[in-house]
């Protein structure tokens, strides 16, 4: 695993550190602390009629198949959709909105988005990006689907409620990190401005928070998340990762792919 520095700290966690991070992220104490500091995400706008609309935020990413295309994790996604429905009862929907069920996925490796995408890729270099990913996927080694699991839901400080994804064993965590290393070391992608900006913290976004919450709402949210974890996660939910796909997006509501675009089977 490549040791990348970020502000003097190792960006990627060791297997043991990652397991500890996941376990701490879903405990009641962490949920209360995160509810106190969570900020709005800032990727949606609320219209006067009460409808949330996404802001333009284009880019490409490498993710697991979205729920609608994932035939391996059908039962797990059914549970996550139930949890989204539970969360709608915990949140003021003028301040937060659910992620579309069809778009549920886990990010394997962020590529490029926002202003950097518009500057580096949008005007004529998208095919270069796709060709680079295609060559990368063709030369990476394949073994078998990765065995991961979901240990609970947590609250991320940037305004996201998410299911937290954890490896079942160290070998599969190392394989995922080696794949990420390979992506960020790829010469073509590096020349396009694609780089590792943060370490892997596997999650499946379930809800977006888009406005400041008052103290009582934050307290109630933490209690709701803790109750959901007790009800649904006495045992982890299985989550296999059979393949990774490059997907395009213009906002946070949908992640598209052309059937001709490359995929990578683990």
Distance between CA atoms of residues 9 and 7, nearest Å: 6
pTM: 0.95
Q: Tell me: the pLDDT tens digits for 159-188?
A: 999 999 999 999 999 999 999 999 999 999
pLDDT of 222 > 60? The answer is: yes
pLDDT of 240 > 60? The answer is: yes
Residue 226 near residue 31 (C-beta atoms within 8 A): yes
Distance between CA atoms of residues 156 and 178, nearest Å: 25
DSSP tag of 244: E
pLDDT of 7 > 90? The answer is: no
Report the pLDDT value the prediction gives residue 143, as an integer from 0 to 100: 85
Share of the chain above pLDDT 70, in %: 96
Q: Interhelix angle for 170-184 vs 15-25, to 10°?
A: 100
User: Residue 112: which of 92, 97, 128 has the closest Cα?
Assistant: 128
Q: What are the residues whose beta carbons fall under 8 Å from the beta carbon of 148, sequence distance 6 or more?
A: 165, 166, 167, 168, 172, 202, 239, 240, 241
**CA gyration radius for the chain?**
18
Q: What is the mean pLDDT of residues 110-129?
A: 94
Q: Is 19 exposed, middle or buried (0-12, 13-18, 19+ CB in 10 A)?
A: middle
Distance between CA atoms of residues 39 and 210, nearest Å: 8
**Where residue 10 falls among pLDDT bands split at 50, 70, 90?**
low
Q: Which domains, ranges and CATH numbers included, belong to the chain?
A: 5-265 (3.90.1140.10)
Q: Helix, strand or coil for residue 137? A: helix
pLDDT of 8 > 60? The answer is: no
Report the pLDDT value the prediction gives residue 122, as an integer from 0 to 100: 87
Q: What is the mean pLDDT of residues 194-219?
A: 97
pLDDT of 9 > 50? The answer is: no
Q: Is the model more confident about 11 or about 173?
A: 173
């Amino acid at each position: 695993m490549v040791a990348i520095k970020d502000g003097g700290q190792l960006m990627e966690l060791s297997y043991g550190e990652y397991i500890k991070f996941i376990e701490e992220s879903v405990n009641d104490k962490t949920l209360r602390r995160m509810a106190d500091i969570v900020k709005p995400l800032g990727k949606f706008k609320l219209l006067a009629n009460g409808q949330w609309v996404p802001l333009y935020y284009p880019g490409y990413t490498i993710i697991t198949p979205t729920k609608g295309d994932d035939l391996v994790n059908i039962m797990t996604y059914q549970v996550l959709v139930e949890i989204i429905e539970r969360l709608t009862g915990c949140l003021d929907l003028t301040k937060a909105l659910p992620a579309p069920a069809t778009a549920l996925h886990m990010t394997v490796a962020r590529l490029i988005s926002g202003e950097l995408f518009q500057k580096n890729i949008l005007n004529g270099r998208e095919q270069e990006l796709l060709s680079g990913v295609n060559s990368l996927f063709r030369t990476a080694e394949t073994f078998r689907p990765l065995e991961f699991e979901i240990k609970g839901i947590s609250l991320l400080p940037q305004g996201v409620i998410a299911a937290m994804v954890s490896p079942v064993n160290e070998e599969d965590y190392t394989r995922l990190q080696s794949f990420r290393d390979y992506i960020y070391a790829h010469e073509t992608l590096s020349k396009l401005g694609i780089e590792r900006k943060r370490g892997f913290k596997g999650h499946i976004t379930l809800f977006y928070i888009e406005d400041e919450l008052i103290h009582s709402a934050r307290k109630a949210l933490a209690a709701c998340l803790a109750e959901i974890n007790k009800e649904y996660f006495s045992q982890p939910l299985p989550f296999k990762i059979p393949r990774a796909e490059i997907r395009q997006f213009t906002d946070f509501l949908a992640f598209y792919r052309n059937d001709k675009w490359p995929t990578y089977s683990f």
